[in-house]
Chain A
């Protein structure tokens, strides 16, 4: 026996669905608006342009220039994408096109384990392996002075972190391409590589862009592992071997401390707002490309 009759149950279920939908749909807006009002104090006294493009970060004397953090974030994200994107694409092609199906069964758990490792562990690994490797071997070998904690170290760690995420999506995308399309191309006399290059990659392009966009967003927002190896020095990095500072690291390192400094918490909120805005921008760009290439 039910407490409510069918019609009433329908109304209850329906209401719940609407509420959850509204929650999901408006959460980003609420976040945005909340952050905006928290950072409005800062925006009131400084122009947006100055905040974004000023290089000087001295909160105690009222100078809030976010440029070094933005540059640091962008560098770390782009370099980690440059490392991981080709690796992921080639691996996905190899695993789905050149190996037997059983191989995937072994690969999948391995990828999932990589994806499940907490980011602090990746950070530790970065400190113990990547940082010394850069300071002792890579730096001297390239004749660069570096202490190891650098944009490059963060990019390395980050690329290892996002590889499993991108790879999993890419593998699903390539698996979803119908076998018959492959057969069609092969029946025209195309070699396997020609089939992959001219047909499969083209078919998969929107999905590939989406996968990379997903990786990019993750990389941009990753906090812990990056702040452990990036050096956390507020300075414009001149090369990949220089230390830097990223927006998420700025917030994580400082929130809750030094809040007696005027407008400091407002500045951190603005950093969060910037983070959100850039993620949104990435999303829009990806969306544009996906629509653009999805016509086939």
Chain B
């Protein structure tokens, strides 16, 4: 096991009733890299992501077993501080869901949950995170407007800024560009590439081209199984498994 792994998933199984959504998953996610989880729809990518920040707790019908080690702690076992745990990760979902507040408060609410109450510091950090998400210049005069008035692309970047504002070490992104236009998608991708020096990024996508553009590390999943994983060069350049080859060549069915 190489010591640069940020997240190690061991023997993870998830059942919804009698259907097995994830089958004996073992994945190593390296630190400060973009790890792309690739696969066709319905292969369990989203569920895998929800296991990582224990949003699976919301769905009592899901039974999760196995281990997910983050920096050596098994987060599936740790019952006590699930809120701290979630603050280690910023989440970006398929469609943007801004909180029903102003643009400013979307970020400051995350800061408040982190324990920052000082107004000047809040001010500074709101600006900082909006800049990080590549949004500040566009909206600096609209901070008191409801977040829902932004365009979808801007909303998604606001959600990214909000995710960063909890000061996470990991960014979880679940097909974050699937609802966005090409330019907004590009914004998000560029931001990810810039952010990976400070964050470990786990990106779920079914867009092959996106994976090829930004992935350092690739996990290919199919119907709840991990078929192949490794560095982007290995998986894209010289796939070992037949299923991976089919998916990469676009002849998958």
Query: Which residues does A use to contact B, with CB under 8 Å?
Result: 100, 178-191, 194, 198-199, 202-203, 295-296
8 pairs, A vs B, C-beta closer than 8 Å: A180-B94, A183-B55, A184-B97, A187-B91, A188-B163, A188-B166, A189-B83, A198-B99
Chain A residues with CB below 8 A from B84, complex form: 189
Q: Are A198 and B55 in contact (CB under 8 A)?
A: no
B237 at the interface (CB under 8 A from A): no
Query: Which residues does B use to contact A, with CB under 8 Å?
Result: 53, 55, 58, 60, 83-84, 86-87, 89-91, 93-95, 97, 99-101, 109-110, 113-114, 146-148, 159, 162-163, 165-166
Given contacts A188-B110, A188-B163, 16 further A-B contacts (CB under 8 A): A180-B95, A181-B97, A186-B55, A187-B55, A187-B86, A187-B90, A189-B83, A189-B113, A190-B113, A198-B99, A198-B109, A199-B99, A202-B99, A202-B100, A295-B146, A296-B148
**Nearest CB on A from B170, distance (A):** 11
Known A194-B113, A296-B146, A296-B148: A185·B99 in contact at CB below 8 Å = yes
Cα–Cα, bound, A191→B84 (Å): 10
Cα–Cα, bound, A187→B85 (Å): 9
**Nearest CB on A from B53, distance (A):** 6
Q: Are A296 and B166 in contact (CB under 8 A)?
A: no
A-B contact count, CB below 8 Å?
67
Chain A residues with CB below 8 A from B83, complex form: 189-191
> For B83, B146, B166, which residue has the most chain A Cβ atoms within 10 angstroms?
B83
Please, which residue of chain A has its CB at the minimum distance from the CB of B60?
Answer: A100
**Nearest CB on A from B89, distance (A):** 7
Chain B residues with CB below 8 A from A178, complex form: 97
Known A194-B113, A295-B146, A296-B148: A187·B97 in contact at CB below 8 Å = no
**Nearest CB on A from B129, distance (A):** 12
Cα–Cα, bound, A189→B113 (Å): 7
**Nearest CB on B from A182, distance (A):** 7
Chain A residues with CB below 8 A from B114, complex form: 189
Please, which residue of chain A has its CB at the minimum distance from the CB of B100?
Answer: A296
- Pairs A-B, 4 closest by C-beta atoms: A296-B100, A187-B91, A189-B87, A203-B100
Q: Are A183 and B109 in contact (CB under 8 A)?
A: no
Partner of A189, one of B86, B97, B146: B86
**Nearest CB on A from B228, distance (A):** 29
> For A189, A191, A203, which residue has the most chain B Cβ atoms within 10 angstroms?
A189
Cα–Cα, bound, A190→B83 (Å): 7
> For B58, B91, B99, which residue has the most chain A Cβ atoms within 10 angstroms?
B99
**Nearest CB on B from A191, distance (A):** 6
Q: Are B148 and A186 in contact (CB under 8 A)?
A: no
Chain A residues with CB below 8 A from B109, complex form: 188, 198
**Nearest CB on A from B150, distance (A):** 12
Partner of A184, one of B60, B89, B99, B146: B99
Cα–Cα, bound, A147→B140 (Å): 65
Please, which residue of chain A has its CB at the minimum distance from the CB of B85?
Answer: A189
Please, which residue of chain A has its CB at the minimum distance from the CB of B54?
Answer: A186
Cα–Cα, bound, A190→B166 (Å): 11
Cα–Cα, bound, A100→B60 (Å): 8
Chain B residues with CB below 8 A from A198, complex form: 99, 109
Q: Are A183 and B101 in contact (CB under 8 A)?
A: no
Q: Are B89 and A187 in contact (CB under 8 A)?
A: yes
Chain A residues with CB below 8 A from B89, complex form: 187
Cα–Cα, bound, A183→B165 (Å): 16
Q: Are A189 and B91 in contact (CB under 8 A)?
A: no
Please, which residue of chain B has its CB at the minimum distance from the CB of A198?
Answer: B109
Cα–Cα, bound, A270→B123 (Å): 58
Cα–Cα, bound, A178→B88 (Å): 24
Chain B residues with CB below 8 A from A190, complex form: 83, 113
Cα–Cα, bound, A194→B112 (Å): 11
Partner of A199, one of B87, B93, B95, B100: B100
